[in-house]
Amino acid sequence: MHPVLIAGYVALFVAVGIAFLAVNLIVGWLVRPRMPNTEKLEVYECGEPTIGSSFVQFDLRFYVVALLFIIFDVEVALFFPWATVFGKATQLTDPALQTVQADGMLTPAATGLLRELGVKKPAVPETLGPLLTPTISEARAIEATRGEATPQQALGRWSVARTGSLLARTAVVDMAAFFAILLVGFAYVWYRGDLDWVRAVAAERSA
């Protein structure tokens, strides 16, 4: 999908959301009754009458729990882009997916997957270097598929699948390292007792 078209969809979504909110606020302002009194103008919290001043000291433990939530739980959002890259990469390795045409060019499906992975000018990867050089067994597999495809097409399909496989493996290693670091940090704050609501409990454990 063209970036301009995507930006147009996003702008349309934002405009409809703003218009929907504005219309509801204006209609509510026009039709709702206005009968202010002393009781309605009082400050309330969840329907309960307030007791004392609102300027009171807040327990720091609430802040610590919120901070730990942001540090550890919100980082789970990083799994979504990783899962997208991993999914697109594994699709390139699917034997049922036609990635290279008879003329040696990429199919529209493979081109779309590579564009979604961030490749600006998708093309069939060249079989150069140790990572993109077929082994003897892989060369025999390529030879076996030449009955239904041209040599260039068979080699191109292997090259695209090999690239997808390497990218998927890199994504797995990357996410495993990220998850390991996250678990080490979680174990550290757990050992320090930061997850205990009462820090005295942590002191007793260490003693």
User: Using CA of residue 8, residue 9, residue 12, residue 14, what is the dihedral sign?
Assistant: negative
Does the pTM exceed 0.85? no
Q: Kindly state whether residues 89 and 173 are assigned to the same domain.
A: yes
Q: For the segment 139-173, what is each residue's pLDDT rounded down to a tens digit?
A: 555 545 555 666 677 777 777 888 888 888 888 99
Co-location of 149 and 90 in the same domain:
yes
Query: How do residues 27-76 score in pLDDT, each as one tens digit?
Result: 998 998 888 887 777 766 666 666 777 677 777 777 777 887 887 777 77
Domain around 38: 3-58
Residues 51 and 79 in one domain: no
Secondary element (H or E) of residue 180: helix 151-192
Residue 181 lies in a domain: yes
Same domain, 130 and 50: no
Please state whether beta strands 48-49 and 44-45 pair in parallel, antiparallel, or not at all (unpaired).
Answer: antiparallel
Query: Does 127 reside within a domain?
Result: yes
**Chain centroid to CA 202: how far?**
35
121: tokens are 């000018």
Do 107 and 199 lie in one domain? The reply is: yes
Whether 198 is in a domain gets the answer yes
